[in-house]
Amino acid sequence: MKIQVKIFDEEHEKDLEEKINDFLADLDVCELIDIKYTVSSFYDYKDQIYCYSALIIYKVCDEEDDD
């Protein structure tokens, strides 16, 4: 078994949700370990900018694994 991570970073929460759902739908995982989520924001003297990020931690089964 191999542990992997995938990082997503989007400016809109709906975009992040869509990217994560697409990734999980196409992923053949042995086990989803965790999803870490964070939101940050800053002001660039014109607009407030948001950053929605997620880290997905998962196990990929080797072909010989029978878990």
pTM above 0.85, yes or no: no
Is the pLDDT at 50 greater than 60, yes or no? yes
Residue 21 lies inside a defined structural domain of this protein: yes
Rounded CA-CA distance 42/10 in Å is 14
Residues contacting residue 6 through CB under 8 Å, at least 6 positions apart: 23, 55, 56, 58
Rounded CA-CA distance 39/51 in Å is 6
Query: Would you say the C-alpha torsion 12, 14, 15, 16 has a positive or negative sign?
Result: positive
Domain limits for position 46: 2-60
Residue 66 lies inside a defined structural domain of this protein: no
pLDDT band at 66; cut points 50, 70, 90: low
> How many domains is the chain partitioned into structurally?
1
